[in-house]
Amino acid sequence: MDKPRPHASPRTIRSVKSKTTASTPPRKTPNYVPYSQDAFLARLKTFADVKLWTMKPDPINKVQWVKRGWVCEAWNTVACKGGCEARVVVSLRPKRKDDKGEEIEGSEDWSVDVEEELVAAYAERIVEGHAEFCLWRRAGCKKDIYHIPIARRDVCEADLSRRYQSLKAIEAHLPPFECVKFTGINPSSLIKCLPPSFFAAAEENAATEETPPPSLTAFAFALFGWNGVAQDGLYIAQCSHCFQRVGLWLYTKERIATMAKKVNAEESQLLLNLLETHREHCPWKNAEAQANPPDGQVAGFAAWRTLQYVLGVNKRRDTTATQGSAEVGGEADIAGKKEGEEKGDKDLAGRWQRLKSKLKRSTSKRSLKSLGKGGDS
């Protein structure tokens, strides 16, 4: 395959097809399964490494490519693996140059504006980049392929429990509750919506005299879709839907205080935002990606808000009308309060992005390397 040119134009966009041989072993699983969310997420995960795939405009972001069967194979290069084997090099900007004027491999010059015509041309390649005979050219995944089935109580509680237990296992390494920020109902209220048995580990001995109290911090993380992971001596929170990863050691009280002085910011601005830390396309954060039924009570809700609503509704069903309205009245306010919160969130959005950029420049090399394939995109 020829090396991609430093900067493409609509007339130089290239699709590269690999040679196939008769000795190619048969595929273990079919390539064209547009209805499979597991397959969708497996493809999406290949785009998670920011060293391979950089941010793209919405019409050609990673989700759009994944819905049409593409995986990220190399630096800004997508491929139809196991299908037509077509490849497309997505080059929006020229490479950066070093002090000697030589191009730096695996880089982009972000000072160059992206041409709208080029974006439109690549949007066409999402479909037309496949071979004529490829099924992905005919149809891709449905709009709701990213949907998390939270509205089903049994699925909702089982998934929430799995996330909670994974975080409870690394509780000693979680940030203090006061070092995290959340949206909507306070987790201390929602934690009352679940029975005590929910917080008991599956392997816990029934003969144990006392059940440890629930971890409010672990529950807060779980409410917003995070799982706890221990990897190579590091403790990380990660999302299994957008594949964002967060180094938990970055959010200790001491670390936040140090960074606040270093970047001249308020400590409250540096708390871990459990919602905003998800990637923009994540259904936990993005209502369009969550794609709840348009005619239901959770229409237009992102996954985090859907979960809070479901927990509140089921709690009210388990109590009398009077008790329910008094005990979980906060849940009933979620639809009304959210509008006001969203206005504030939009006002803070620019400051949040600028602050994250500033923090990235101040983060130690050790912290960045230890996260491996994590990071925003």
Report whether pLDDT(340) > 50.
Answer: no
* Residue 216 · residue 177 · CB < 8 Å: yes
Token pair of 348 as six digits? 């803070």
Query: What is the per-residue pLDDT for 4?
Result: 47
Query: What is the per-residue pLDDT for 336?
Result: 43
Q: Which residue has the tokens 């001491």?
A: 254
Domain locations in the chain as residue ranges: 15-138, 153-370
Report whether pLDDT(320) > 80.
Answer: no
Query: What is the per-residue pLDDT for 375?
Result: 47
DSSP letter at 36 equals -
* Cβ-based neighbours of 308, under 8 Å, separated by 6 or more: 184, 185, 190, 223, 331, 334
pLDDT tens across 102-119, in order? 888 888 888 899 999 999
Alpha-carbon Rg for the chain, nearest whole angstrom, is 23
Q: How confident is the model at residue 3 (pLDDT cuts 50, 70, 90)?
A: very low
The DSSP annotation for 301-332 comes to --HHHHHHHHHHHHHHHTS-HHHHHHHSHHHH
pLDDT tens across 44-93, in order? 999 999 899 999 999 999 999 999 999 999 999 999 999 999 999 999 99
SS3 sequence, 142-164?
Answer: CCCCCCCCCCCHHHHHHHHHHHH
- Range 19-37 average pLDDT: 73
Report whether pLDDT(342) > 80.
Answer: no
Q: Which residue has the tokens 């816990």?
A: 204
Q: How confident is the model at residue 176 (pLDDT cuts 50, 70, 90)?
A: very high
- Range 261-290 average pLDDT: 97
pTM of the model: 0.77
